[in-house]
Structure 1
Amino acid sequence: MPAYATNETDTISAALGAMGPGSPSAAVATKLLELFTEGSIASGTRLPPERQLAATLAVGRSAVREALAALEILGVVDVRPGSGTYLRGNASELLPQTLSWGMMLNKSRTAELAEVRGALEIYAARLATERMPPAAIARLHGHLEKMRLSASDLSAFVEADLQFHLELAQSTDNTVLLDLLQSIRSLLRVWSDRSVQDDEHARLAIVEHAAVYEAIAAGDSEAAATAMVTHMRTASARLAGPTEPPATGPLGN
């Protein structure tokens, strides 16, 4: 186990203070960010270990672990296995606009962000249908096939799902739209990676992706947008919380 400089960990612990039992991971992330953006912790500082942060904040280690994972996705900290967790930037570098978006994200803000993502994905499907070259359509089909082959391997399924949506976004030839979708997807990934409950959910999600692909392959931008509307509606429902697969339509991711 790596040694931690006592003065650094004591300084961070003293600055944080207790939050009270039951505080959620989003609140832990917000508390840490408040400390980091004050500028009192230097870039490159190694944070206290999870157990010390949990004791200081009076929360469970799982809340600390999820908060650090969220902050790593945002690029705020760098988690190095076997070494520790380090603050990546200085105070001015930790104030991009994305950090005001709910700080990895409570349920209400997650739902709002999912709505924004849905609108952008629908527009991307329409635009990609008009602009996607044959080679990109073939790659999109390949991502769909990987999803089908990975229905019982949820980790591989989630990655193939990501590549499917990334292919669509890249095919819009709109870098702003691509950047927005990638940023939102990253913010939601803490939740969406856990939204596929089992291989039945994955199988049903494939049906929706296939409908999007078939519309794009046929060059029908209206049908592609309509298929994505259905997909985003059920994807948002799944992000809202664990549910049983609906009887009337598949869940998406």
Structure 2
Amino acid sequence: MSNRNSSHINAAMTPIDRSGITELVVQRIKDLLSRGELKAGSRLPPERELAEMLNISRPSLRTALKALSVMGIIRAKPGAGTYIAESLPEVFTEPMHFMTLINNTSIEELFEARRIIEAGLAELAAERAVEEDLDALNREIEGMRETIDDPENYLKHDVRFHQIMAHAANNKLMSGVMDTIAQLLFHIRRQTISNAKDLEEAIDWHRKIVDAIRKHDTKRAKDMLSSHLRAAQAAWARENRNSHKEEVQQGEPPTFKRRLR
């Protein structure tokens, strides 16, 4: 860390009252981020130095840093130090997961939220995507086609397609929220993605989305993305019903998958 950056951080890291240490350390980190002294991916000062800056014990600092780690705000890299999260999904995922559990959010509600957000991203992508984005989207479609007999890897290409499209929209907040919801749905989709007909249809939807983005047709891009996610939700519902039927036929109580666990 440069002397100049260290001096700025020193100025922000004034000693803090020992009551509510965790909350105050969090506030100091927020202050540094809001002033641009720390950025996504920035390395925090070493533990000893940071504890001295804040005039707190190292055990107290570790407790505060653990809280920040659970929140997804920082990430420890073995042998390299502690860093600010590099992306919004890292920060959003755990709090949003807890929110869905507390609110007893249904998977249908997550699909609905994703559809609303990602349709807007598709519209923005149709306005802002460049040729490199289109090439990357087509590579993922080709990857989906090549792995259609391997659902696990197929799904990885599918997820990357949507991440690339969100990046092309050039709205970090919206793409971060969308990616967080997609991560929450990932393990559910992995359990049910198996029907070859559904996978073929999904590839076709992805081609239509790219075609609309290439033509800068914002309305069609939004409509195609929304229709694709409706079809994905319908496919999930079919597979979910089928799995329940199989469990009943085998004399087992059905596993309810309509709420996040």
Question: Do they superpose with TM above 0.5?
Answer: yes
Letter in 1 for 2:209: V
Q: Alpha-carbon deviations, 1:86-141, whole Å to 9, x = none?
A: xxxxxxx9x963143323996x5211111000011110100001001111111111
Q: 1:190: which partner in 2?
A: 187
Q: Alpha-carbon deviations, 1:212-232, whole Å to 9, x = none?
A: 111111221111111112101
1:223-234 correspondence runs (5 A): 223-234=220-231
Structure with greater helix percent: 2
SS at match of 1:211: helix
Q: 1:147: which partner in 2?
A: 144
Q: 2:153: which partner in 1?
A: 156
Q: 2:39: which partner in 1?
A: none
Letter in 1 for 2:106: R
Q: 2:170: which partner in 1?
A: 173
Output the CA distance in 1 between the equivalents of 2:203 and 2:146. 10
Are 2:97 and 2:184, in contact at CA under 8 Å, matched by a contact in 1?
no
Letter in 1 for 2:96: T
Stretches of 4+ aligned residues off by more than 6 angstroms:
none
Q: Alpha-carbon deviations, 1:12-33, whole Å to 9, x = none?
A: xxxxxxxxxxxxxxxxxxxxxx
| TM-score scaled by length of structure 1 | 0.55
SS at match of 2:239: coil
Percent identity (aligned): 24
Residues 243/99 of structure 1: CA separation in 2 closer, same or farther (3 Å cut): closer
Are 1:143 and 1:160, in contact at CA under 8 Å, matched by a contact in 2?
yes
Letter in 2 for 1:149: E
Structure 2: 5+ residue stretches without partners: 1-62, 65-70, 73-90, 242-261
Residues 227/102 of structure 1: CA separation in 2 closer, same or farther (3 Å cut): same
Output the CA distance in 1 between the equivalents of 2:219 and 2:180. 26
Q: 1:98: which partner in 2?
A: 96
Structure 1: 5+ residue stretches without partners: 1-41, 44-73, 76-92, 245-253
Q: Which protein shows a greater Rg?
A: 2
Residues 209/171 of structure 1: CA separation in 2 closer, same or farther (3 Å cut): same
Are 1:111 and 1:240, in contact at CA under 8 Å, matched by a contact in 2?
no
Output the CA distance in 2 between the equivalents of 1:239 and 1:174. 28
Output the CA distance in 2 between the equivalents of 1:208 and 1:104. 34
Output the CA distance in 2 between the equivalents of 1:104 and 1:199. 35
Output the CA distance in 2 between the equivalents of 1:197 and 1:143. 18
Q: Alpha-carbon deviations, 1:158-193, whole Å to 9, x = none?
A: 001001000011111111011101110111112122
| TM-score scaled by length of structure 2 | 0.54
Output the CA distance in 2 between the equivalents of 1:192 and 1:105. 21
Count of residue pairs the alignment pairs up: 160
Output the CA distance in 1 between the equivalents of 2:201 and 2:113. 23
Q: Alpha-carbon deviations, 1:196-247, whole Å to 9, x = none?
A: 1232221121111111111111221111111112101112223335169xxx
Letter in 2 for 1:201: D
Residues 147/140 of structure 1: CA separation in 2 closer, same or farther (3 Å cut): same
